[in-house]
A and B are shown apart, each in its own frame.
Chain A
Amino acid sequence: MNVNPDPWVWIAAFLTLAIFSFLYKENPFYRVAEYTFVGVSNGYFISLMWHNVAIPVLVNPLRSAAAQAGEEGLSPGLFNPVNDANFLLLIPMFIGLLYLSRFFRRVSWLVRIPIAFYLGYYMGLSIPTILEASVLRQIRGTILTQETFSDWAAGLWAVVVLVGVVCTIIYFFFSREHKGVLGAASKVGIVFVMVGFGASFGYTVMARIALAIGRIIFLLRDWIGLIQ
């Protein structure tokens, strides 16, 4: 054993064990670790956003624009969005600050303005592209062509995928009672849904175990040096 003397490693080990202690029962060590995590994460994220976004994207350009205006006076270049230093940045800054209006009941409705900008921008951007990538291309993937059957295994799986997609969609079709052909297809559909859930569960177990292994390797290797 070769125990690591680094105090930061000891703090990380203590916090890891404190979180694991929840598996036995809720306790003050767990709560300390949990609150520390929430506080540190928020503080870290806010400072990162301030130093990596607010300062380079907003504060510095505005400061440069103000300095330029102080030396040379206001010029059209200071209102040109192509230039790094320009006063037009005050507009998105003002719209962004409207998020804080939520804290003041009388003007809290103003928060709708930045939300509207955000939603409008992303909907305009996403609807055509997501439709193409996640709907149309996926539908195209279920279409059987002569080429699909050039390899018998690929052809068989393509048929299975087609049956699975159609039956699963029928299972979620609630406008008619699931009787007769519709009932039989929806029963096949539920089998595919269950297989999907089973696969998701298996992968989720693998993911969670992987995270536990990461911490155990940290404890055994980086902290107490039991393994190489």
Chain B
Amino acid sequence: MKWLEVFLTIDRRIIFAVVGFVLVLPIIFPFGFRTPVTPPTQKLYDAVEAIPARDKALTISVDYAPQTEPELHPMTIALLRHAFSRRKYVLILALYVQGLGLAEDALRTVVGEFNERATSPADSILYGRDYVFLGWQPPPVIPILGMGTSIRGVFPRDYYGNETDTLAMMKEIDSYSDMDLLVSISGGTPPVWYVAYAQSRFGIKVGAGITAVSVADFFPYLETGQFSGMLAGIKGAAEYEELVARNLGLEDRRKAMEGMSSQAAAHIAIMAFVILGNIGYFAKRKRRP
């Protein structure tokens, strides 16, 4: 059937227009997308839950840049909400300089949400008591290895220029042995660096928040137990937001979830185009002698 071959010649601009349309429409009129929580996300959530509060720290390594912000930033925000609502100690750092501004933005957002609801200093999230922003030290391997022996040695001053020694929380935390979990949120290989350099040598548990592009490469590390949990792309972020909202009753803005209706619609559109293209291809092949 020759007419089916028209599917092979659809102008790419029509495809872009259709995908654009199906992306925009659900953002304006969301259709209540539900996100079932997958095991890798649940594992990371459970690992954060298991951190002994006011004893060991959760360390979040913000290893992404603005180009992957839509996928990864909601993960950082959701993890911070979870950790702060359970009163866990939080250390935050960046292996790349571009991560500094994003880490600060996530902290400002989440600390602001908690402190707006707080009725007393005890309810508030305070710098130095509940969390410390260590900043950045190049090259990446220096903080990864250095934190195994002394955080204060690698970060004598925090991001804001305070002497790390003087911060109350840091009197109890000075190396990987004082952390229960380290989560690297990254658009590249830093989670594997943490496994290779920090976990192999110092035994720290490592979690990962990664872009969807890297998921297939990183699944083996989850299967072997080298990752204690993993957030896979924007869907992983939306799942974590769902867990935080459902279990902790936090109903703050869910940036990853906002895009999930569009994700679903766009995937259906792209699948439809793939199927149409294949129909056209097989129709053409059948007609050929």
Contacts and interface: CB of A to CB of B under 8 A. Distances in A.
A134 B200 CA distance: 11
Contacts of A204: 212-213
A63 interface: no
B237 to A, nearest CB: 9
B53 interface: no
Given A52-B136, A125-B141, A210-B71, A140 B13 contact: no
Select the residue from A48, A53, A212 with max chain B CB neighbours within 10 A: A212
Contact of B200 (A132, A138, A213, A227): A132
A132 B262 CA distance: 41
Nearest to A198: B216
Contact of A133 (B28, B192, B258): B192
Nearest to B145: A125
Interface in B31-82: 67-71
Nearest to B206: A133
A191 interface: no
B212 A207 contact: yes
A45 B99 CA distance: 12
Secondary structure of the A contact surface, majority rule: helix
Given A52-B136, A217-B27, A220-B27, A211 B196 contact: no
Given A129-B201, A133-B199, A199 B235 contact: no
A23 B212 CA distance: 23
**Interface SS, B side:** helix
21 contacts: A23-B20, A45-B97, A45-B98, A57-B138, A129-B200, A130-B196, A133-B195, A133-B200, A134-B196, A138-B220, A141-B224, A161-B223, A199-B215, A203-B215, A205-B267, A207-B213, A209-B267, A211-B71, A214-B69, A217-B255, A227-B28
A53 B142 CA distance: 13
Given A137-B224, A203-B216, A227-B28, A210 B70 contact: yes
Contact of B259 (A49, A205, A214): A214
B232 interface: yes
Nearest to B141: A125
Contacts of B258: 213, 217
Nearest to B12: A23
Contacts, number: 120
A134 B192 contact: yes
Interface string A127-153: 001101110011011000000000000
A24 B13 contact: yes
A3 interface: no
A122 B13 CA distance: 46
A168 B97 CA distance: 39
B259 A210 contact: yes
Contacts of B20: 23, 212
Contacts of B197: 125, 129
Q: Which of A199, A207, A210 has the most CB of B within 10 A?
A: A210
Interface size of B as a range:
35 or more
Contacts of A23: 13, 16, 20
Given A129-B196, A213-B262, A203 B213 contact: yes
A213 B23 contact: yes
Interface in B71-120: 71, 97-98
Contacts of A137: 224, 226
Q: Which 6 A-B pairs rank lowest in CB-CB distance, beginning with the nearest?
A: A214-B70, A141-B224, A207-B212, A213-B259, A133-B196, A210-B234
B266 interface: yes
- The CB with the most chain A CB atoms within 10 A, among B68, B196, B197, B232, is that of B196
A227 B27 contact: yes
Contacts of B211: 207
Interface string A187-228: 000000000100110011111011111111100100000110
A52 B138 CA distance: 9
Contacts of A52: 97, 136, 138
B24 interface: yes
Contacts of B69: 214
Contacts of B259: 210, 213-214, 217
Nearest to B201: A129
B278 interface: no
Nearest to A139: B224
